[in-house]
Structures are given as C-alpha cells and as structure tokens.
Amino acid sequence: MSEPLLSARAVTKSYAMGKRTLEVLRSVSLDVARGEFLALRGASGAGKSTLLHLFGGLDSPNAGEIWFGGNNLATLPESAATALRNRKIGFIFQAYHLLPELDALENVCLPARMARTPAAQAERRGRELLARVGLSERLDHKPYELSGGEQQRVAIARALINEPELILADEPTGNLDSHTGGEIIEVLVGLRNERNTTLIIATHDADVAARAPKVIHLVDGRIA
C-alpha cells in the first residue's frame, strides 16, 4: 500500500487554562490517504478544529506526531514548514479571513504571490478560479461588498490558488444558510474531484458529512 499523505500518531493536545489543563485531543491516531475525502464530525469542543490546525502545521501536539508526505511536521525547520503550508496545504476557515483592504482577486492571488508566482500567472489562475466559483463579475469587490456565501467562495478559490495536495476546511458552511451552504459544498467537492485533491472537512452538519465517503467521529478528544 502507498504511504498515506497525512498521519496522526498518538496525538495529544492540551491547553493551560489558569490552574487547570484543558485536554482537547487524547491519543488520536489516524491515516489519510492521498485523494481521500474525509469528514470530521463531533460536537463543539470535541477537537475537530484543533486536529485540523495540527494537520496544517498551525499548531504542534503536546505528545505524538503529525506526518505530512513523509515529513514529521515537528522536525521541519520553520522556513520549510512555512513553505509547506503555503504550497501544499489550502486552508478554508468558517470566518473566511479575507483581508478587507484587498479585492476578491487580490485576496485569491495573495498565497501565489507569497510563493513568488509571477504576477501575470497568479492573476490568470485567480481569474480562472473565481470564474469556477461563480464570481467572475465580482473580481474587484472588497469583502464588505460580498455576501457571506460569496466571501466563502473567494476563500475556496484562495485555498486552491497554489494547487495544494491537501485542503483543510473548518466548518466552511457554519456561517451560511442551508441553501448557500449546500452550494458551497457542491463547489468545494466539484473542485476537489477535478484534481483528486485530499479534502478534510470539519463539520457538525450531518448533511455536509454525508457527502464524504469516510466520516470520523470525535467525542471528548477521542475517535469514537
């Protein structure tokens, strides 16, 4: 069998809360194959977002290891970890995290420019992606001029600009009504299928999770 793209090995994560310790993840082990579409389900506080942050190298476990493409994220030099997050991982957050001073196209192109992609090439790719998510007429609109669903579409296009191997989506429909949320999932799954990109969605929504061939349930920081 081929090596998994992503592995969590006995991962534990806790946070100090004054005099007490909050245990968020408790010895979680999980392999994610290349091209797999996985949903993480669980109640608020179950550890879904924390696990995504660890998978993306945005945080480090207290114990255990996270491996990506054969690399232990904890042992990578910071420059290599930054390059990996920029070029190989696309993040989609519930709160969008678009820069308010940039228009839609500029927000989408930002990760490509950080990766030193030539401006013309980045803009061409950005325009293509925004057209794919139905925003070809909104390229020069700032985030405050866009609806929640439109902002999430911009965030999806931004996550895909560097053609990542892995997409991590944290409650991507959490701030949207059911109809708009359904459209967002259709867009995200369709774009993922085009390149067989590995996709992990953290969600409490049963309808969103039902789209994934594999569902993992987290309960009190453990895989149920």
* Dihedral Cα 206, 212, 216, 217, nearest 10 deg: 0
| Helix 178-195, helix 148-160: angle, nearest 10 | 10
Over 80: is that where the pLDDT of 2 sits?
A: no
Could you report the per-residue pLDDT of 50-98, keeping only the tens digit for each?
Answer: 999 999 999 999 999 999 998 999 899 999 999 999 999 999 988 899 9
The structural domains of the chain, with segments of one domain joined by +, span 36-59+78-223
Of 117, 126, 123, which is closest to residue 153 (Cα–Cα)? 126
Sign of the CA dihedral running 207, 174, 202, 46: negative
DSSP state, residue 131? H
Q: Is the pLDDT of residue 134 over 60?
A: yes
Contacts of residue 204, Cβ cutoff 8 Å, sequence gap at least 6: 41, 42, 43, 44, 171, 174
Q: What CATH architecture applies to the domain 36-59+78-223?
A: 3-Layer(aba) Sandwich (3.40)
Contact 7, 204 (CB under 8 A): no
Confidence (pLDDT) at 112: 95
